[in-house]
């Protein structure tokens, strides 16, 4: 227990002093984001940047050919993929695709935990993206966008990374997953906000990363938080049954869910699996 308390104390102190080592945004994501902010950038130039990274190129092709974009004709080149997705969406989607690269560690135990964290992130993101896709079909004039929820869902729990990295120096805590999980629950939101700020993300993303698990914050209008939380409900991140029921009821009233138990149907499961395939 002493080791566990020491880790928690160290994390809190480093957060206070702004000395926690944060993950860096992958270089290719930085290049894409910088290029996307250039008013003179064109599709060909963006394609050349993405083509430099094989994993990102494959990811863009998967997105362009996914059921989400609803196109039957397959694209086969990065240039075609970028054209289909569009410059406006590329910034968020390319960043989202590159995020997986920061979930790595040379330590075997830490690597295992990071892999599980990334898998859980993908699970939640797949639900959020699926629900947003359904919502947008019936609410064409909303300001909410698919590329924003894609990136938001994939960075919502990024704060787990520094916690696991710091825990590498206190390996006894890995023998107690419950404690580690408690540290993540208590601290990852604040750390996620710090990371998204350091990466130059908008206040909107920082708010999402900091507050998705804080259920005292309940937006009256339809919000990106709702879609991420629905994913968390689907994958049993929130444990309290009455809380889950209240949230699902509110999402039905907001028009996010067609009905309270909609996420239990086979059609929705198939849709989530299609989305998940983009990230595998």
184 domain residue, yes or no: yes
134 domain residue, yes or no: yes
For residues 189-205, one letter each, b for 16 or more C-beta atoms within 10 angstroms of the residue's C-beta and e for the rest, the string is bbbbbbbbbebebeeeb
Could you give the percent of the chain with pLDDT greater than 70?
96
* Nearest residue to 95 via CA among 43, 53, 41, 42: 53
233 domain residue, yes or no: yes
CA atoms within 13 A on the CB side of 107: 14
67 domain residue, yes or no: no
55 domain residue, yes or no: no
Q: Do the Cβ atoms of 117 and 157 come closer than 8 Å?
A: yes
pLDDT band at 69; cut points 50, 70, 90: low
User: For the segment 1-54, what is each residue's pLDDT rounded down to a tens digit?
Assistant: 566 677 788 888 988 888 888 999 999 999 999 999 999 999 999 999 999 999
| Stretch 90-111: mean pLDDT | 89
pLDDT band at 277; cut points 50, 70, 90: confident
Calculate the average pLDDT of the chain. 90
Higher-scoring residue by pLDDT: 263, 21: 263
**Residue 97: predicted pLDDT:** 87
56 domain residue, yes or no: no
174 domain residue, yes or no: yes
CA atoms within 13 A on the CB side of 154: 25
164 domain residue, yes or no: yes
Rounded-to-integer distance, Cα 213 and Cα 100, Å:
21
For residue 126, what are the contacts with CB-CB under 8 A and spacing of at least 6? 231, 272, 273, 275, 276, 279
Element housing 245 (H / E): helix 241-254
User: For the segment 192-249, what is each residue's pLDDT rounded down to a tens digit?
Assistant: 999 999 999 999 999 999 999 999 999 999 999 999 999 999 999 998 999 999 999 9
Rounded-to-integer distance, Cα 266 and Cα 280, Å:
21
What is the number of structural domains in the chain? 1
Rounded-to-integer distance, Cα 185 and Cα 82, Å:
37
The three-class DSSP label of residue 87 is helix
Enclosing domain of residue 151: 2-24+104-277
CATH number of the domain enclosing 257: 1.10.3210.10
CA distances from 118 to 86, 100, 129, 159, 161 (A): 27, 7, 16, 12, 10
Strand blocks (E) in 106-230: none
């Amino acid at each position: 227990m002493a080791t566990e308390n020491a880790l928690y104390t160290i994390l809190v102190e480093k957060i206070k002093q702004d000395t926690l080592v944060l993950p860096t945004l992958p270089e290719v994501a930085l290049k894409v984001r910088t290029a996307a902010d250039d008013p003179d950038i064109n599709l060909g130039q963006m394609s050349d940047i993405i083509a430099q990274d094989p994993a990102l190129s494959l990811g863009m092709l998967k997105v362009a050919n996914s059921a989400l974009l609803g196109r039957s004709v397959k694209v086969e080149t990065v240039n075609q993929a970028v054209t289909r997705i569009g410059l406006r969406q590329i910034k968020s989607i390319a960043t989202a695709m590159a995020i997986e690269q920061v979930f790595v560690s040379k330590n075997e135990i830490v690597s295992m935990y990071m892999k599980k964290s990334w898998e859980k992130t993908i699970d939640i993101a797949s639900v959020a993206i699926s629900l947003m896709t359904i919502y947008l079909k019936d609410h064409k004039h909303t300001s909410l966008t698919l590329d924003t929820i894609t990136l938001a869902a994939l960075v919502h729990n990024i704060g787990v990374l520094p916690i696991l990295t710091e825990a590498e120096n206190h390996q006894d805590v890995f023998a107690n997953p419950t404690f580690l999980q408690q540290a993540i629950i208590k601290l990852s939101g604040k750390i996620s906000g710090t990371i998204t700020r350091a990466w130059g993300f908008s206040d909107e993303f920082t708010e999402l990363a900091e507050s998705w698990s804080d259920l005292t914050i309940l937006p009256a209008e339809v919000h990106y938080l709702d879609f991420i939380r629905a994913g968390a409900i689907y994958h049993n991140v929130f444990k309290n049954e009455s809380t889950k029921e209240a949230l699902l009821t509110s999402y039905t009233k907001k028009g996010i869910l067609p009905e309270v138990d909609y996420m239990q149907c086979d059609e929705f499961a198939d849709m989530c699996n299609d989305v998940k395939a983009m990230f595998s």
